[in-house]
Amino acid sequence: MNWKLPNQLTVGRLLLAGVFFVLLALYQLPPTERGYLLNLCFVLFIIGGISDVLDGYLARRWKVTSAFGRIADPFVDKVLVCGAFALLAGSNFVFNGRQGRFETQLPAWLTGGMASGVQGWMVVVVVAREFIVSGIRGYSEAQGKRFPATAWGKLKMFTQSFAICTVLFQLANLSQPERPWAVVLKLSAVWVSLIATVVSGLAYINKARRLMAAEE
């Protein structure tokens, strides 16, 4: 039974991601009364994060790591995070004239006209980074070289998760009436996560370059 539980948690997190995506896609900005959907998404994302930590902890504690877990666990993480960013950049999060004066008067490059603060090009950066790093890791492991997550990779995951939670909570609970400090926190979290994404990607590329140079 011990060897099954971590994998069951991973599969459960994938199913949870599906529910999360549906609820996020159904959300509409005010004046519609659908803030509860974002609160549900917030709770689901937190549960997903806890299950991610728990399945990794149990697998290590019980020494029941498996090929399925090594592949599925990071895959589900990427699905949840990339999917969340993609949906937060969707048309249902475009400014509709109901936002507060402070947010709508911010520079266009800062918000991109998005109440979530997540712009389409940011999603491209996030997804591209995952493809590049996954490709590098796959190549390295095919050559018999371990390519574990770095501190930058873990920081990237934390900042992305924090940004998603901050966006969900701010839009659901702190946007009507407008609270400028919450808007600043939301946008800061999004941009910091983007910077961490780029820097961690470059760190992995540099690490791969050193490994390849050592082979020559």
Residue, of 211 and 159, whose pLDDT is higher:
159
Structural contact between residues 162 and 193, judged by C-beta atoms closer than 8 angstroms? yes
Q: Residue 215 pLDDT more than 70? A: no
> How high is the pLDDT of residue 150?
80
Structural contact between residues 195 and 152, judged by C-beta atoms closer than 8 angstroms? no
Structural contact between residues 64 and 9, judged by C-beta atoms closer than 8 angstroms? no
Give me 125's structure tokens.
């950066």
Q: What's the CATH code of the domain at 136?
A: 1.20.120.1760
Give me 93's structure tokens.
């999060």
pLDDT digits (tens, 9 = 90+) for 156-191: 999 999 999 999 999 999 887 789 999 999 999 999
Structural contact between residues 141 and 213, judged by C-beta atoms closer than 8 angstroms? no
What residue spans of the chain are helical by DSSP H? 5-26, 35-61, 67-88, 101-104, 108-111, 120-142, 151-173, 180-215
pLDDT digits (tens, 9 = 90+) for 51-98: 988 887 887 777 777 767 778 888 999 999 999 999 999 999 999 877
Counting Cα atoms < 13 Å in the Cβ hemisphere of 27 gives 29
pLDDT digits (tens, 9 = 90+) for 102-152: 888 899 999 999 999 999 999 999 999 999 998 888 877 777 777 777 888
Q: Give the domain extent around 58.
A: 5-215
Give me 120's structure tokens.
């389409």
From residue 95, how far is each of 27, 54, 100, 150, 166 by CA, in Å? Answer: 13, 38, 10, 37, 18
- Of the candidates 152, 2, 148, 151, the residue with the CA atom closest to the CA atom of residue 70: 148
- The tally of domains found in the chain comes to 1
Structural contact between residues 30 and 98, judged by C-beta atoms closer than 8 angstroms? yes
